[in-house]
Structure 1
Amino acid sequence: MIGDTMTLLSLLGRIMRYFLLRPETLFLLCISLALWSYFFHTDEVKTIVKSSRDAVKMVKGKVAEMMQNDRLGGLSVLDAEFSKTWEFKNNNVAVYSIQGRRDHMEDRFEVLTDITNKSHPSIFGIFDGHGGEAAADYVKAHLPDSLKQQLQAFEREKRESSLSYSSILEQRILAVDREMLDKLSASHDEAGQGRGVVGGTTCLVALLSDRELTVANVGDSRGVLCDKDGNAVALSHDHKPYQLKERKRIKRADKLQPEFMILASDGLWDAFSNEEAVRFVRERLDEPHFGAKSIVLQSFYRGCPDNITVMVVKFKGGAGGSSKAGE
């Protein structure tokens, strides 16, 4: 993660919140306590069982109400829950992003393409801020544009250059990381807050040319590819604090005949596995947001406590667009 990493304690807290908020978890708890009550007939357990049943009814009722409102074409319930909901659609890429149950919206995304002149590969990015929005805002504002400039120079001088898409991605991410730490730390000094942690952000970036897909990942956002047979192919590895060894950050996917890819912040992956997400989106590619909106809302319904941002890029047809998320 750029500038900062999640602690193991926060990771465990997220896992606990995720499982405890899911309706099926409450339902299983209710069943377990009911069986215990049946065999041991304790008044205390019976009281807990009744409370658990009431909790399950409350959660199911809330979910049903939200799903009904969404089916009716409105987001009246969701609008009260989400103070920031961003969406973007242009040609073959769609994004849907919600604040969810968090007090602040720290997810950002960016799409930069040039389908007319093809002066550079398409650039897709997901940035999930941690400890504030500053780092995600900085990376969104600086990394895609600096990548675009270097990629354009690379395309003009490709025959004479020793660089590759992978090396350009790695160089630019490291450079922006250093610049961000210097500038944000200096801002903290000027504000009298002292030099120290300034927050951080994940950084998931995909470069897509006519023949090559290159993905770089820092942090726990994740990219997944759906091949022509509907199989889920991991494009990145999560960087978690409990990993014993740093995994390779750059992965290239060539000649896979892909159908689409999903780039998303960890809010999605708290509720969906790679395979589940691919199946869910594949069944909804004909929707206006290529399934991005549906899977975001479904993640929320499943109890995800985090910001959720999902980008779906279809490989059939052209690409284009530039998001203005957060503006």
Structure 2
Amino acid sequence: MSCSVAVPSSPVFSLFNNNDNNNSNSSSSAEPLMLSLPPITTPSCSSTSPPSSPLLKKKRPAKLDIPVASLAFGIAVTPPSPPPRDAAVEVDGPGFSVYCKRGRRHHMEDRYSAAVDLHGQPKQAFFGIFDGHGGTKASEFAAHNLEKNVLDEVVRRDESDIKEAVKHGYLNTDSEFLKEGLHGGSCCVTALIRNGNLVVSNAGDCRAVISRGGVAEALTSDHKPSREDERDRIETQGGYVDVCRGVWRIQGSLAVSRGIGDRNLKQWVIAEPETKVLKIEPQHDLLILASDGLWEKVSNQEAVDIARLGNNRQQPLLACKKLVELSVSRGSVDDISVMIIKLQNYV
């Protein structure tokens, strides 16, 4: 017999696109098995010829010829899982390089943004790494909107009020995301370069590390429930922090205490960033922005050492890859995004 199986084609997507993929399952109803039977031949008696024996001989019925009907079961085969988002993405841009590698999740939830020559000014740029959780909506939204919202606030305010401008840029982005009715959240770390100043901000556990003549210095502090001031803030607002399987979490759920989104925990997970401003000096050779997938396995100084080696050889993209692979070799299963920015381009 023959068996017809309908398998839907797999969806195709592009990485770092605003649109998420929707699986479409096709199914067909089963058709009944149809057996076509020819009429059964019965013995015939002649009315003119008498039987040759007092007993009638029973004739064997003709052999039944049962054709095998086509079995169009229409089996609803579960379509193959849609292909995961690209295992990695790499970009070698003007003055920066970025490499992102998907972990064990089906979709990469990390995103990045990079804008150079802002407003036609070669010494002005904006960079960001966004580590999504609970889906890609929040990280995508932040990657596409945070830069504009921050710059709008910077233009509106006096240059001396740059920290307040960045703060309101983050808060406005968070408010806009929540108004969209979307779910999920995202940690953020950004670097605004303007008028020779480096303005680094973070909300969550993405981190920025600068190299000062080869010496690593963290410019951000991770926002986690285990941080004493963060735990106090959460508990003051009526929330609780506890340890679940060795990880500090808010309400037994989220392991970060700041970020964009997270509407169900918004009372405790705030989007207000912490910001540091410093003048870019000749000894500041590079800046590393990365998601926690790197920092959980690689120290700040290790990251700077590898990044400087790549920078000296004019291979910063290769350095990004080496940092990611080092974290993976040490057991990281998270999405990992690493960006190296050449600060000497902005001195």
Report the TM-score when normalising by structure 2: 0.58
Q: Secondary structure at the match of 1:204?
A: strand
Deviation, 1:200, is 0.7
Q: Which residue of the other structure, out of 194, 200, 219, is the alignment partner of 1:209?
A: 194
Counterpart position of 2:321? 293
Question: Share of identical aligned residues, percent?
Answer: 34
Cα shift at 1:265: 0.5
- Larger mean CA deviation between 310-319 and 125-134 belongs to 310-319
Q: Are 2:88 and 1:85 equivalent residues in the alignment?
A: yes
Alpha-carbon distance in 2 for matches of 1:116, 1:178: 26
Preserved CA contact (<8 Å) 1:110 1:124: yes
Tell me, yes or no, if the aligned pair for 1:106 and 1:128 is still in contact at 8 Å: yes
1:271 aligns with: 297
The equivalent of 1:322 in structure 2 is none
Helix, strand or coil: the match of 1:272?
coil
Q: Cα offset for 1:83?
A: 3.5
1:273-327 CA-to-partner distances (Å, cap 9, x unmatched) read: 11111112112222251611221122222221100000000112369xxxxxxxx
Corresponding residue SS for 1:306 = coil
Q: In the alignment, does 2:129 pair up with 1:126?
A: yes
Q: 219, 230, 249: which one pairs with 1:235?
A: 219
Does the CA contact (< 8 Å) of 1:82 and 1:100 recur in 2? no
Q: CA deviation at 1:163?
A: 5.5
Structure 1 match to 2:309:
283
Task: State the distance in 2 between where 1:162 and 1:316 align.
Answer: 22
Q: Counterpart of 2:344 in 1: which secondary structure?
A: coil
Q: Distance in 1 between matches of 2:274 and 2:85?
A: 33
1:76-225 equivalences in 2 (<5 Å): 83-114=86-117, 117-118=120-121, 121-151=124-154, 153-154=155-156, 161=158, 164-185=161-182, 198-225=183-210
| Distance in 2 separating the partners of 1:171 and 1:240 | 21
1:316 aligns with 2:344: yes
Point out where structure 1 has 5 or more consecutive residues left out of the alignment: 1-79, 186-197, 320-327
Aligned equivalents of 2:91, 2:122: Cα separation in 1: 23
- Which 10-residue stretch deviates more, 110-119 or 126-135? 110-119
Residue type at the aligned position of 1:177: D
Matching residue within 286, 297, 318 for 1:260: 286
* Alignment-derived partner of residue 78 in structure 2: none
Q: Are 1:268 and 1:309, in contact at CA under 8 Å, matched by a contact in 2?
A: yes
SS at match of 2:181: helix
* C-alpha RMSD over aligned residues: 2.6
Report how many aligned residue pairs link the two structures.
221
Structure richer in strand, relative to its length: 2
Aligned to 2:62: none
- Partner residue in 2 for 1:250: 275
For structure 1, which segment, 310-319 or 231-240, has the greater mean C-alpha deviation from structure 2 after superposition?
310-319
Distance change in 2, residues 1:251/1:290 (3 Å) = farther
CA deviation profile, 1:62-112 (whole Å, cap 9, x unmatched): xxxxxxxxxxxxxxxxxx998431111112100000102222210000001
How far off is 1:250 after superposition? 1.1
C-alpha contact (below 8 Å) 1:91/1:318 kept by paired residues: no
In terms of fraction of residues, the more helix-rich structure is 1
Check 1:290–1:251 CA distance in 2 against 1; reply closer, same or farther (3 A cut).
farther
TM-score when scaled to structure 1? 0.62
Could you tell me which runs of 5 or more consecutive residues in structure 2 were left unpaired when the two chains were aligned. Answer: 1-82, 234-272
In structure 2, the residue matched to 1:69 is: none
- In 2, the alpha carbon distance for the partners of 1:180 and 1:242 equals 27
User: Superposition pairs for residues 4-19 of structure 1, below 5 Å?
Assistant: none
Q: How far 1:148 sits from its partner (Å)?
A: 3.5
Distance 2:216 2:113 in 1: 23
CA distance in 2, matches of 1:317, 1:162: 22
Residues 238-247 or 100-109, more deviating: 238-247
Q: Indicate the residue corresponding to 1:303 in structure 2.
A: 331
Partner amino acid, structure 1, of 2:317: H
> What amino acid sits opposite 1:184 in the alignment?
G
> What is the letter of the counterpart of residue 343 of structure 2?
F
Aligned residue in 1 for 2:53: none
Residue number in structure 2 paired with 1:76:
none
Q: How far 1:270 sits from its partner (Å)?
A: 1.4
The aligned residue for residue 259 of structure 2 is none
**Alignment-mate amino acid for residue 104 of structure 1:** H
Structure 2: which amino acid aligns with 1:299?
S
Greater Rg over alpha carbons, structure? 2
State the AA in 2 paired with 1:166: K
Give distance in 2, aligned partners of 1:295 and 1:81.
23
CA separation in 1, counterparts of 2:124 and 2:193? 5
